């Protein structure tokens, strides 16, 4: 799972940079996926270890951060849509797409991590 974490971290970095460039480099908050990706990447590198306790610790930190990020990005996407509709303007498609992509990537990552944790628990390698 640590190597898969690095893949998701790279995808998040690319998503953040694409969103930032897509907004004309005017909105630094478009880089939020990049920062999440960097944190996941750092913890992913730290999880590549022969020490089982260290690997478990950093993978649990990663899945917790990803779950918090999923909840936050989902709430923010919904809030942005509701706010835009309430003031009668169109939703920024780049911002909405970036938030939705962040939420989907993090949800997939959380699901894969939980499935991995369950598989390890059932195999008796705890």
9, 41 in Cβ contact below 8 A? yes
Token pair 């960097």 in the structure block, residue: 38
User: What's the rounded Cα separation, in Å, for the pair 16 and 31?
Assistant: 5
Q: Is the pTM of this model over 0.85?
A: yes
Instruction: List, for residues 25-78, the tens digit of each pLDDT value.
Output: 888 888 999 999 999 999 999 999 889 899 999 999 999 999 999 999 999 999
């Amino acid at each position: 799972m640590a190597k898969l974490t690095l893949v998701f971290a790279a995808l998040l970095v690319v998503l953040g940079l694409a969103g930032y460039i897509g907004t004309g480099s005017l909105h630094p908050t478009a880089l939020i996926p990049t920062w999440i990706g960097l944190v996941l990447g750092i913890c992913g590198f730290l999880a590549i270890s022969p020490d089982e306790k260290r690997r478990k610790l950093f993978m649990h930190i990663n899945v917790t951060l990803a779950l918090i990020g999923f909840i936050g990005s989902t709430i923010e996407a919904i809030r942005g849509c509701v706010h835009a509709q309430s003031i009668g303007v169109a939703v920024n498609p780049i911002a909405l797409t970036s938030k939705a992509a962040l939420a989907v990537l993090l949800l997939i990552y959380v699901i894969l991590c939980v499935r991995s944790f369950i598989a390890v628990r059932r195999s008796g390698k705890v």
